[in-house]
Amino acid sequence: MKWTDFFIPTTKEVPADAVVPSHQLMIRAGMIRQITAGSYAYLPLGFRVMQKITLIVREEMDRAGAVELGMPALHPVELWEETGRVDAMGETLIHLPDKSFRKGTVLGPTHEEVITDIARAYLHSYKQLPINFYQIQTKFRDEARPKSGVLRTREFLMKDAYSFDIDQEGLDASYDKMFAAYCRIYQRSGLPYFAVQAESGAMGGSDSTEFMVISDAGEDILVRTEDGAYCANLEKAEPAPLPEPGCDQQQALEEVHTPGNTTIEQVSSLLGCRPADMIKTIIFQDDDKPLVALVRGDHTVNEAKLARAAGVSSVEAATPSQISQWTSADVGFAGPVGLDARVIADQAVTVMHNAVTGANKTDYHFKGVNAGRDFEIKESADIRYAEEGDRATTGQALIFEKCMEVGHVFKLGTKYTAAMKANVLDQNGKARPMIMGCYGIGLNRIMAAAIEASHDDGGIIWPISIAPFSVLIVALDVRDENVMAVAQDLHDTLSESGLDVLLDDRNERPGFKFKDADLIGVPIRVTVGKRGLADGIVEVKQRRNEQVNKVAPDQAAKAVRDLVEQERGLPAS
Ligand code: ATP
Ligand code: MG
């Protein structure tokens, strides 16, 4: 492919809202163009990368035994009503105006409902299972804040797969296959990733793994040990229990006047204690009954962990009037002493001594509060978020890093099949809902994550597997016939051996062309110029390092192929 026949509108102009490197570089390299907020056109260079990623994903899905199909983006809203997800999706679900279609229609943000509708139409016996359907298709989500270029958009390409099994063992096997396929996809795409235990919703039981790439552009937090032996997302991360500090003498319980001081900060500064010396009492409601969480004043309650500890599907904050009624005090003065409610204390609270906490009396707190003497801890669990300074249960320090989710595998169970009555007959002729898993991977995010993970000041450094071209031949002196003949010959030879080659035949200054070469990040560059040819050489260089290899023109193809092998991580032939 000749540059002048192709279309790469590189530019220095970067919009002010492009702050993350992948967004800036994709625009500068002429790969994408924003059409409206959260919706991008993929220009030819960007499109080629998407195609390469798509191919890898498709190959690995096929290898794992999944079968590809195509589902529509237009969904009848009734399918979403069957599973109750119209509400659950909220604003994210894009509804088309009623008048466009006879019945309500939405744009698919994901396809559990549609695939389950297909499954219930065709799958009737355990003998047809297991089966894993996948598609590579555009999703629509009205994200509240589309941002960071193609990392979070309203329209994006996802590979989504859905497995159907007759029993839990079947699901486990389907899930393991997808897990392995995902690892291969990221490895092949050259992405340094972490497979992270994720929160799978309350009640627990089912596995869920998020695949994360470390990046400042990410919106999630990865919590891990230095050696990576432990990693979890922040929602799920479990800090080791805090050690018993060894008690100074137990102080007497003392009521102190704290008028108008309702926050941890206010009370700790008024009483001259640290937030860590306070017990934070947070009141939730469970079916109009109080459910009270106790965490250390400097810790944050994790509602998903609390719900799991309480054995409920989710927790809901109590209203101010409920709080006043249950604590006999205004909001801001609750505490565990004398409180008649179900209380779950965080593990860190169980090792506190002489704590400060609300007195269940407006404008009063207690000092010298000790569990066991002043109130009883009947239930304790890990119900807080891990924090800097926490350790893993192995004793290693926990590290917190920003990351982005590039994929997710999830054991769904019978949530959708039960709601939509997608039953099959089991070995005993009994109808039961199929057991589902779902597996999603964001293709655009893989592209952006690869750039986030691999770039320098000059531009992108593509992993060769997803690079738009593997080789860039930069012809200097394009009006020199000999230069163009050598460049074209090399282009043809390499192309014939199956490599995708771009030939920069633009009549521009060398510096300008080298800048563009670095920007678009093609892994291997060959420079053919008049002066070099006079000396009997062309220059071969990898984008990822500065080293320039000078080789005779007739050795260039071999030199390039060796570097391609090296870039592919295989031993050079
Ligand atoms: P996030 O928490 O980032 O919103 P999600 O949990 O909503 O992601 P899933 O519904 O599991 O994501 O979708 C599967 C994959 O699709 C994600 O792992 C991600 O790679 C990709 N993805 C999700 N939302 C977007 C988006 N708005 N733009 C681009 N890719 C997305
Ligand atoms: Mg989302």
> What are the helix (H) ranges across 312-359?
320-327, 347-350
Of ligand 1's listed atoms, the one at least distance from the Cα of 404 is 3
Give the atom of ligand 1 at the shortest distance from the alpha carbon of 109: 10
Those residues whose C-beta lies under 8 Å from the C-beta of residue 572, and which sit 6 or more positions away, are 562, 565, 566
The reply to whether ligand 1 has any atom less than 6 angstroms from the CB of 159 is no
Structure tokens at 455: 């770039």
Q: How confident is the model at residue 572 (pLDDT cuts 50, 70, 90)?
A: very low
Asked if residues 487 and 436 have their Cβ atoms less than 8 Å apart, the reply is no
* Structural tokens at position 427: 């070995």
Residue 202 pLDDT greater than 80, yes or no: no
State pLDDT tens for residues 4-30.
Answer: 999 999 999 998 999 999 999 999 999
**Atom 5 of ligand 1, nearest CA residue:** 405
Per-residue pLDDT reduced to its tens digit, 498-533: 999 999 999 999 999 999 999 999 999 999 999 999
**Residue 569: pLDDT band by 50, 70, 90 thresholds?**
confident
- Residue 408 Cβ inside 6 Å of ligand 1? The answer reads yes
Structure tokens at 320: 């101010």
Main-chain phi, psi angles of 439, to 5 degrees? -145, 110
Residue 181: CA count within 13 A, CB half-sphere? 28
Give yes or no for residue 52 having a pLDDT over 70.
Answer: yes
- CB contact set of 196 (below 8 Å; sequence gap of 6+): 209, 210, 211, 212, 222, 231, 232, 233, 236
Q: Is the CB of 135 under 6 A from ligand 1?
A: no
Whole-model pTM: value is: 0.88
- Name the percent of the chain lying above pLDDT 70: 97
Which residue lies with its CA nearest to atom 18 of ligand 1?
407
pLDDT mean across residues, the chain: 95
Q: Is 392 exposed, middle or buried (0-12, 13-18, 19+ CB in 10 A)?
A: buried
Q: Is 280 in the pocket of ligand 1 (CB under 6 A)?
A: no
- Say if ligand 1 is within 6 A of residue 153 CB: yes
Q: What is the pLDDT of residue 123?
A: 98
pLDDT 10s digits, 130-157: 999 999 999 999 999 898 999 999 999 9
Cα separation values, 133 from 115, 118, 128, Å: 8, 10, 13
- Whether pLDDT at 98 is above 90: no
**Residue 486 C-alpha to ligand 1 middle, in angstroms?**
46
- Ligand 1 atom 14: the closest Cα is on which residue? 440
CA of 301 to the centre of ligand 1 (A): 25
**Residue 341, pLDDT score:** 95
β pairing state of 548-551 and 538-542? antiparallel
The C-alpha torsion from 245 through 250 and 253 to 255, rounded to 10°, is: -60
Question: What's the confidence (pLDDT) of residue 334?
Answer: 97
Q: Is the CB of 110 under 6 A from ligand 1?
A: yes
Q: Ligand 1, closest atom to CA 158?
A: 16
